[in-house]
């Protein structure tokens, strides 16, 4: 009887420890998901604020200089294009914050997204390269905006430090989406580049944290973000559909 009671007690103890470990793992998973969602949405809001800051700077520059009516008209048109887009992005971010499990893909044609993207970024000093034949694939426009905006903001921050930095956005001649953002600034340090999309990386301009989150977002949507070239004078990031997404 003593042995039976001892065995039963041991079984109950192991059962209790198993349940406790399961609850701990579940709680850790929940907290990790909550943290990643919060971090990503915080980053989305940061990008929106940076875009608003760029609009404010353009308006201030226009106010402080003696511009003609044509310059005022261009500024008004820029604001009219940007504000509805920023408002929609902010509304989507708030929706994700309230209902993180209800995220939906916003499908669009590459040609439609590319035309809108160029119009909304004409006030930045950058070049756009368009292939003769645009890809026919449907794309996740919200994910694409988030990733490409992040890459552009990083490049623009670098351009503030080094004069005459050329930024270029290239839509590659491919059946499916492949887009590259490059700049002629300094290379990403080797130790940072090795961990860029794998974990949070501390950097002076916030490069690592933002790229980690948008890389996760791209992967979840079926895309792959990579550092295709990394040397002084040629730093190039590439976003493209992964094979499984293309096959589907």
Each residue's pLDDT tens digit, 102-114: 555 667 888 888 9
DSSP assignments along 121-159, one per residue: TTTSS-EEE--SS----EEEHHHHHHHHHHHHHHHHHHH
Read off φ and ψ for residue 3, nearest 5 degrees.
Answer: -65, -40
Residue 93 has pLDDT above 70, yes or no: yes
pLDDT of residue 133: 87
pLDDT > 70 in the chain, percent: 77
DSSP character at residue 101: G
Range name among 10-14, 75-79, 123-127, 157-161 with the lowest pLDDT average: 75-79
pLDDT of residue 169: 95
Read off φ and ψ for residue 128, nearest 5 degrees.
Answer: -120, 135
Residue 245 has pLDDT above 80, yes or no: no
Taking the CA atoms of 78, 84, 85 and 86 in sequence, report the sign of the dihedral they define.
positive
Give the residue carrying structure tokens 């890459």. 151
Read off φ and ψ for residue 206, nearest 5 degrees.
Answer: 80, 15
pTM (predicted TM-score): 0.66
User: Over the stretch 177-234, which tens digit does the pLDDT of each residue have?
Assistant: 899 999 999 998 888 888 888 776 655 554 555 788 888 888 888 899 999 999 999 9
- Residue 33 belongs to what H/E stretch? helix 2-64
CA–CA distance, 211 with 39 (Å, rounded to integer) = 12
CA–CA distance, 86 with 138 (Å, rounded to integer) = 22
Fold assignment, 106-248: Heat Shock Protein 90 (3.30.565)
User: Over the stretch 137-153, which tens digit does the pLDDT of each residue have?
Assistant: 888 888 888 889 889 88
Q: Mean pLDDT, the chain, as a whole number?
A: 79
Domain locations along the chain: 1-104, 106-248
Residue 79 has pLDDT above 80, yes or no: no
- Which whole-number Å values give the CA distances from 79 to 40, 52, 150, 157, 228, in the listed order? 26, 10, 20, 22, 34
Sequence-separated (6 or more) residues with CB below 8 Å from residue 224: 218, 239, 240, 241, 242
DSSP character at residue 188: P
Average pLDDT on 117-127 reads: 81
pLDDT of residue 132: 87
pLDDT of residue 136: 81
Residue 247 has pLDDT above 60, yes or no: no
Higher pLDDT pick, 24 / 199: 24
pLDDT of residue 32: 64
8 Å CB contact between 173 and 236 = no
SS3 (DSSP) at 201: coil
Region of 179 (left: φ > 0; alpha: ψ -120 to 50; beta: rest) is beta
């Amino acid at each position: 009887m003593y042995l039976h009671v001892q065995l039963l007690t041991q079984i109950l103890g192991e059962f209790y420890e198993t349940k406790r470990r399961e609850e701990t793992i579940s709680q850790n998973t929940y907290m990790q998901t909550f943290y990643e969602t919060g971090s990503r949405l915080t980053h989305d809001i940061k990008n929106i604020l940076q875009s608003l800051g760029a609009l404010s700077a353009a308006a201030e520059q226009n106010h402080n200089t003696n511009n003609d009516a044509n310059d005022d008209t261009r500024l008004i048109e820029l604001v009219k294009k940007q504000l509805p887009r920023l408002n929609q992005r902010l509304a989507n971010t708030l929706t994700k914050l309230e209902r993180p499990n209800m995220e939906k893909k916003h499908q669009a044609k590459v040609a439609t997204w590319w035309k809108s993207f160029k119009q909304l970024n004409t006030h930045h000093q950058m070049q756009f390269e368009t292939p003769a034949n645009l890809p026919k694939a449907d794309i996740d426009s919200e994910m694409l905006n988030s990733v490409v905006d992040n890459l552009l903001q990083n490049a623009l921050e670098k351009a503030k430090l080094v004069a005459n930095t050329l930024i270029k956005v290239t839509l590659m001649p491919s059946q499916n989406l492949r887009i590259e953002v490059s700049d002629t600034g300094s290379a990403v340090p080797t130790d940072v580049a090795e961990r860029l999309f794998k974990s949070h990386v501390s950097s002076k301009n916030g490069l690592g944290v933002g790229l980690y989150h948008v890389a996760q977002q791209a992967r979840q949507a079926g895309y792959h973000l990579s550092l295709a070239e990394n040397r002084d004078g040629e730093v190039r990031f590439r976003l493209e559909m992964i094979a499984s997404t293309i096959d589907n």
